[in-house]
Chain A
Amino acid sequence: MENYDVAVVGGGVMGCSTALYLSRNQMRTIIIDSGALCSEASGTNAGTLTLNMTRAALIPYAIKGWELWNSTEKWLHSSIGTRKVNGLSLAFTEEEEELLYDRVQARQAMGAPIKLISGKKAQRLEPGLNNSVRSAAWCAKDGFTSAYLTGHAFKRALTQENSAVMEYSKVKGIENDKNNFKIYLENNEHLIAKRIVLAGGVWLEDMLNWLNVKIPIKCLINQLIITERMPQVMKTVLSIANGLLSLKQFDNGTVMIGGGWQGLGDKERGGVEAIPENLKGNIRLACHVIPELCYGRMVRVWLGLEAETADALPVIGNVPGISNAYVIGSVHSGYTSGPYMGWLLSQFIMGQETEMPLFDPSRLIN
């Protein structure tokens, strides 16, 4: 029954980076996860670091996050295979072009270094492209990581900072007890911490419920597809105007196809199964964009969970009405901005002025 300055419940990118920055600031920190660190959304997402798919309001945060992922050696002391490449969001029809123009303008207004270019120019940046592409949004600040390496990197970094890491431990409830929080574990033990950070991704709604705070959070079930290693067919990160494709080839030759096509599942059971028709649609779209992909073989499909609030904007800040309790999550394309969001919250917890505004959860309580 140890005492901590702060207990972070949920070991994804946001929980891990919050814990990391807090422990670097001499807080006695523990991070608890029901499984392994970054084994849900933070380890199973497509690893895309793109502004072309980021919500306009989150662009400034995503740029900061993109910079952090491109310098993991500095703050995480290890590499997770980050690659900086050109990003293109494509339009193949007139409607898509209109959508693309609108979205580019909105993102540019928020500071995204995105430019509209012709289909011909897009093909020069990405020779593998289908030549029916009409125009594209080009962003040089794009790229990807190997998301599955995230957990290993954070575990090493947290351990080095003397933050306690408690994996495979399910929290079953939290009690707000005067100046402390009692965190009950499934094995009937409990921990005591002065502050808590709830960082449970799609399970945030249940966690907030422990403190009688009701904020509905939707659970998306994203399908992801990886091919066998194949000769180089592309060198950029590709998307389409409406955001329903993410496509990239890793250094080892495997191609990842994603974009948020839905599978079956829920937060109780996790990802249950892929929907074959949606796999086919997603792969057809990818092959339309990069025709040479059809010579590859699909090797593995998995499901990644994504949390979304009613207004599809994050919850980052105080748990409404409860001092010393904080929440972080539901960030759209949250992997990209995740480490920056963690850093912002750590500033807030330490009583500093945050570099950018947080996202007050109380707006979501009716």
Chain B
Amino acid sequence: MTKTYPNDIQNVDLVVLGAGPAGVAAANVASQEGADVVIIDENSSAGGQIYRAPPNEFKPHDSFKSDEYQEGEKQRKILKNSNVKALFKHRVWSISSDLVVSIVGPNGLSSCHTRSLIIANGALERIIPFPGWTTPGVIGLAASTILLKSQFVLPGQSTVVAGCGPLLIAVANGIIKSGGKVSAIIDLNSKSDWIKASPRLLSRPDQLFKGMSWFANIMKAGIKIYGGHAVTNTKQVDNVLKISIAPINSAGSIILDSKYKKVVEGDCLAIGHGLFPSTEITRLLKAKHIYDPHKGGWVPLIDDDFRSSIPGVYIAGDATGISGAFSAVQKGRIAGMTAVRDLNLMSSKKYKVKIKSERTTLKKNENFGKAAVILMKFRSELIQTITSETIVCRCEDVYRSEIDEAIESGARDMNQLKAWTRCGMGPCQGRTCSEAIEAILASKVGSRELAGQWTGRTPFRPIPIDQIIGEYSYDDIPIPKAAPL
């Protein structure tokens, strides 16, 4: 049914979606085994979020060339020297069940017919709303890392870094290293939460050491850390953000009593409440999903070899569950080898041997990653900060009170809630608000499983209409036969 476009790519063995660590590893290993591989990414080069490259025009000063930058350069070089066909600045906007990948790029529409598909589209940042979260100057932790790593821009003159997990330390350290000022760190986790997570961190002593050195930088800079605290409100007063914070008690409740409230200030609030796997593509394909808080949230169901519930479709990296960049490499390699094995491009004997060593490394790296997941897990107490007057869906300006009213009048699943309130209908297609809205609904209907997920829809990102239509005349339009009169 699908017509071919002029720049169609036919008969590819494997298409890899996403050129982060998992996607690059998958593409490389499959290509080394002789598979004909295409990797597609909307960015201008490989690296994903973690090893995101500066724009090609940028010539970074040596002091900006962090370990991550070096690792990214290494991966970009390996990919460049491989036989993998890389389509950067290209966006996938639809995938059919017979694995025709629809692409939009600088030259308009194209498509790629493939025998197998690896989805390595990573993770999204969870930001649970609070009054003032849409104020200018409030940005995500992940967005801050992009500014620091790729644009060499400080998020603010004086930044309050808040939320949870390793990104908190990474962003604070990144700001200090770039010569900026961190005015405070607000950590949802208490000291004891970090201590509880630390045994797993020992599985990668090199990384633990790196984290400790970042932490030492933060201590040296004399930055006040509020452990076991949540941001409850942000107000802008003359270019200054007045950020209210409150302690979290041992039972996991935010103590909203004004007696315990503190106010910190800055011109920027960088905040993130953890990462969750990106499921836009697997939902569109109607793959089976399960909700697993230990993996960061909803994940596509996969077998031990990273096969999804759909034949020919594999998942790799954080999209299978948050576990970080190191384990993403093994996940990518295993998925890549499984795909070529299933295409009979690799002997079963060779596959078994190779997979075994990957699994050992994966286990070690995953253990390290799990510590991060524990620190970034969804905390239901954050729903307390979403007051009735807080906007939850910022694309469509849907307030918490409207969500509550809809649930009150009988909305029982995510799609119904969307239809009744327009939440999740805007340009971001629910990437920003799904976690908060699912959590609110789940708290009323009993579980995330009962609340369900929004149906996946094409295109995954808004696509400019002029790119879709291209040059054409009225006669070119294949108008179907007239409707009955």
Contact = CB atoms under 8 A, between A and B. Distances in A.
Give the interface residue-count category, chain B: 35 or more
Given A297-B464, A299-B429, A53 B482 contact: no
Contacts of A75: none
A300 B465 contact: no
A242 B1 contact: no
Given A36-B416, A149-B419, A297-B427, A276 B465 contact: no
Given A53-B483, A244-B479, A300 B457 contact: yes
Interface string B171-190: 00000000000000000000
Contacts of A55: 484-485
B462 A228 contact: yes
Interface string A263-299: 0100000001111110111011101100001111111
Nearest to B479: A244
A20 to B, nearest CB: 16
Contact of A312 (B415, B419, B484): B484
Contacts of B416: 36, 39, 151
Contacts of B472: 284
Interface string A136-171: 000000000000110110011001000000011000
B469 A283 contact: yes
Interface in B220-273: none
Interface string B435-468: 0000000000000000000010111001111101
Contacts of B413: 36, 168
B480 A244 contact: yes
Interface stretch (B94-102, B125-133, B308-316): B94-102
Interface string B408-446: 011111011011100001110100000000000000000
Contacts of A264: 1, 96-97
A36 B445 CA distance: 15
A92 interface: yes
B204 to A, nearest CB: 41
B465 A295 contact: yes
A296 B476 CA distance: 21
What 8 A-B pairs come out closest when comparing CB atoms?
A243-B483, A242-B482, A297-B462, A148-B419, A277-B3, A276-B102, A312-B484, A294-B466
Interface of A: 36, 39, 43, 53, 55-56, 92-93, 99, 102-103, 106, 132, 148-149, 151-152, 155-156, 159, 167-168, 226-228, 240-244, 260-262, 264, 272-277, 279-281, 283-285, 287-288, 293-302, 312, 332
Given A280-B469, A294-B469, A312-B484, 19 more contacts: A36-B415, A36-B419, A39-B416, A39-B419, A55-B485, A132-B474, A148-B419, A152-B411, A152-B420, A155-B410, A168-B413, A226-B425, A228-B427, A242-B479, A242-B481, A276-B2, A277-B478, A298-B462, A298-B468
10 contacts: A43-B419, A151-B419, A151-B420, A152-B420, A228-B427, A244-B483, A264-B1, A276-B94, A281-B477, A298-B465
